[in-house]
A and B are shown apart, each in its own frame.
Chain A
Amino acid sequence: MSTLTVLRVGPGTSTQDTGRPGFSDTGLGTAGPADRGSAALANRMVGNRPDAAVLEALLGSVTLRTDAHVVAATTGAPCPVEVASADGRVRGAAAYEVLHLAPGDVLRLGVPTSGLRAYLAVRGGLAVEPVLGSRSWDSLARLGPAPLRVGDVLPIGDAADAWPNVDAVAPPVSGVAVLDVVAGPRDDWFLPSWRGLLTGQEHRVTQDSDRVGVRTTAARPLVRAVTRELPSEGVETGSLQVPPDGHPVLFLADHPVTGGYPVVAVLTPASVDRAAQLRPGDAFRFRLVG
């Protein structure tokens, strides 16, 4: 079986497939890529089935050696890409480009120029041992194939499909992100000023953000109208859960199944992907679409 060997890796790099839906009533969430659109695009670029497992690399920063002819592509946060051959030659490559690797080649992903999470798909998908039917690491439940460590050998599977007709796609345009939200379900738990406070000021991502959620801050917090305790209720990916400090937490792939703080609005799926690429310190705005 063809493999990739991990030569260098930063913290927080894991395998992700479409996740583990259907376990909510046991307290286990879905997980899966934080930026689903980018992971799906990487799979399409190498002709994989949608359920093939990819690498999600926090701030890029991963080096892998292959022992076979491998077709690969990176998407998500655009990072510098380099391929070093066994004979010492180094050739430049790019994110959002289909790469052809030979046995002994070393693939290096550097730190992205913008964005937070890069995705690497290899044709055939990563065939690490699944847990409860999925190859997604769930950082909250601490369940699934463990995050990558130096020396890990990742088998390449057979989740390949027909070849696509592309060899490169355009990377995303960066700038101040605008996140679209749909009001509710608990918008009436806040003073009506919540709309202005959410859409009328800039928000910023704080340091303690992870795959569970993007923590935010802004000049003026949201204010609760209903102050009693909310009985725990199911929450969606993309929920803007508002803790007592009034600054929304944007729930990503590893969010808890249920939560005890009111959700004022929910991101659209495309905006969940955008939120997953925000770095600590990044500014962004919300836009109400419903």
Chain B
Amino acid sequence: MIVDVRPAGTSALLVTFGTLADVVAFHGGLTRAALPGVTEVVSGARTLLVRFDPARTDARSLRGRLDDVVPVAAGDRADDDPVVVPVTYDGEDLDAVAATTGMTTDELVAWHTGQVWTSAFCGFAPGFSYLTGTAPSLDLARRDTSRTAVPSGSVALAGEFSAVYPRTSPGGWQLIGRTSVPMWALDRDPPALAPAGTRLRFVAADRA
């Protein structure tokens, strides 16, 4: 499952995997294993950055312990119901995305709502979760030109991912809809709606 392990400075290892599913499964196993000295794990699309406290462990012994981690498949962690996110599917790129993928807009909405999404990792902005689905990916290109201000709550697609913009920000993803569910709220614990590992389901707002 592990493709390779490389040092990232003096207190982290970058572990590369073949697939995003492997990343999510290994992250689950790593959390369960609670290896001594590990302080934080940062998920990526094909990697986990494992930070450690050099006073408590070292790169070599940590590297050895990684081989003993038992991955936890996403299906085995389905103890909670997915978070439900109602979406109004009226995004500016909805028609163009449907045309590109050879679907009607109804079929595109059915594809987006008809699968369970898992937050693979977060980045770009606090609460911006890169969501990966269970259905075959559309592998959409980003827009040729980036928008200077994508409104907060925009539901978007790019590459193998779907996402919801937690705040108004520049962005090049294809916009298919919008939601009023905040992805980031400081008065919530945790403030992110979908930290890495969280499962989500989108529903069309008028049918919710």
B49 and A236 contact, CB distance less than 8 A: yes
Instruction: Check if A244 is an interface residue, CB within 8 A of chain B.
Output: no
Query: Contacting A27 at CB < 8 Å: which of B7, B10, B47, B122?
Result: B122
Q: Which among A18-26, A88-96, A151-159 touches the partner chain?
A: A18-26
Instruction: Check if B26 is an interface residue, CB within 8 A of chain A.
Output: no
Instruction: Check if A248 is an interface residue, CB within 8 A of chain B.
Output: no
- Report, as a range, how many residues of chain A touch the other chain: 35 or more
Binary interface encoding of chain B residues 42-79 relative to chain A, with 1 for a CB under 8 A from any of its CBs, else 0: 11111111010000000000000000000000000000
Given contacts A27-B126, A257-B122, A258-B123, contact A234 B6 (CB under 8 A): no
Given contacts A21-B39, A25-B195, A235-B49, contact A268 B10 (CB under 8 A): yes
Q: Which residues of A contact B173 (CB under 8 A)?
A: none
Q: Which residues of A contact B127 (CB under 8 A)?
A: 26-27
Q: Which residues of A contact B191 (CB under 8 A)?
A: 23, 26, 28, 132
Binary interface encoding of chain A residues 5-26 relative to chain B, with 1 for a CB under 8 A from any of its CBs, else 0: 0000000000000000111111
Instruction: Check if A141 is an interface residue, CB within 8 A of chain B.
Output: yes
Q: Which residues of B contact A235 (CB under 8 A)?
A: 8, 42, 49
Given contacts A231-B46, A233-B49, contact A28 B126 (CB under 8 A): yes
Instruction: Check if A256 is an interface residue, CB within 8 A of chain B.
Output: yes
Instruction: Check if B21 is an interface residue, CB within 8 A of chain A.
Output: no
- Report, as a range, how many residues of chain B touch the other chain: 35 or more
B42 and A26 contact, CB distance less than 8 A: no
A290 to B10, CA, bound (A): 9
Instruction: Check if A42 is an interface residue, CB within 8 A of chain B.
Output: no
Binary interface encoding of chain B residues 103-137 relative to chain A, with 1 for a CB under 8 A from any of its CBs, else 0: 00000000000000000011111111110000000
B39 and A26 contact, CB distance less than 8 A: no
Interface positions of A from 259 to 278, Cβ below 8 Å from B: 259, 263, 266-269
Q: Which residues of B contact A141 (CB under 8 A)?
A: 125-126
A239 to B11, CA, bound (A): 12
Given contacts A231-B44, A232-B45, A258-B123, contact A25 B197 (CB under 8 A): yes
Interface of A is mostly: loop
Query: Contacting A234 at CB < 8 Å: which of B44, B125, B128, B192?
Result: B44
Instruction: Check if A238 is an interface residue, CB within 8 A of chain B.
Output: yes
A185 and B6 contact, CB distance less than 8 A: yes
Instruction: Select from chain A the residue with minimum beta-carbon distance to B193.
Output: A26
Query: Contacting B9 at CB < 8 Å: which of A24, A28, A233, A266?
Result: A266
A168 to B125, CA, bound (A): 41
Instruction: Check if B3 is an interface residue, CB within 8 A of chain A.
Output: no
Instruction: Check if B196 is an interface residue, CB within 8 A of chain A.
Output: yes
A152 to B120, CA, bound (A): 41
Q: Which residues of B contact A258 (CB under 8 A)?
A: 42, 44, 121-124
Q: Which residues of B contact A25 (CB under 8 A)?
A: 41-43, 121-122, 192, 195-197
Q: Which residues of A contact B124 (CB under 8 A)?
A: 27, 256, 258
Q: Which residues of B contact A27 (CB under 8 A)?
A: 122-129, 166, 192
> Distance (Å) between the CB of B77 and the closest chain A CB?
15
> Distance (Å) between the CB of A138 and the closest chain B CB?
9
Q: Which residues of A contact B6 (CB under 8 A)?
A: 184-186
Instruction: Check if A102 is an interface residue, CB within 8 A of chain B.
Output: no
B186 and A269 contact, CB distance less than 8 A: no
Instruction: Check if B12 is an interface residue, CB within 8 A of chain A.
Output: yes
Instruction: Select from chain B the residue with minimum beta-carbon distance to A141.
Output: B126
Instruction: Select from chain A the residue with minimum beta-carbon distance to B20.
Output: A231
Instruction: Check if B14 is an interface residue, CB within 8 A of chain A.
Output: yes
Query: Contacting A185 at CB < 8 Å: which of B7, B122, B130?
Result: B7
Instruction: Check if B40 is an interface residue, CB within 8 A of chain A.
Output: yes
Interface positions of A from 199 to 242, Cβ below 8 Å from B: 231-236, 238-239
A259 to B10, CA, bound (A): 19
Task: List chain B positions with a Cβ less than 8 A from chain A.
Answer: 6-12, 14, 39-49, 51, 121-130, 166, 184, 186, 190-192, 195-197
- Chosen A-B contacts, 8 in total, with CB atoms closer than 8 Å, are A25-B196, A26-B127, A26-B192, A143-B186, A232-B121, A235-B8, A235-B49, A257-B42
For the complex with contacts A232-B45, A236-B11, 11 further pairs of A-B residues with Cβ separation under 8 Å are: A27-B126, A27-B129, A28-B191, A143-B126, A231-B45, A234-B8, A234-B14, A236-B12, A236-B51, A258-B123, A266-B8
Task: List chain A positions with a Cβ less than 8 A from chain B.
Answer: 21-28, 131-132, 141, 143, 182-186, 231-236, 238-239, 256-259, 263, 266-269, 290
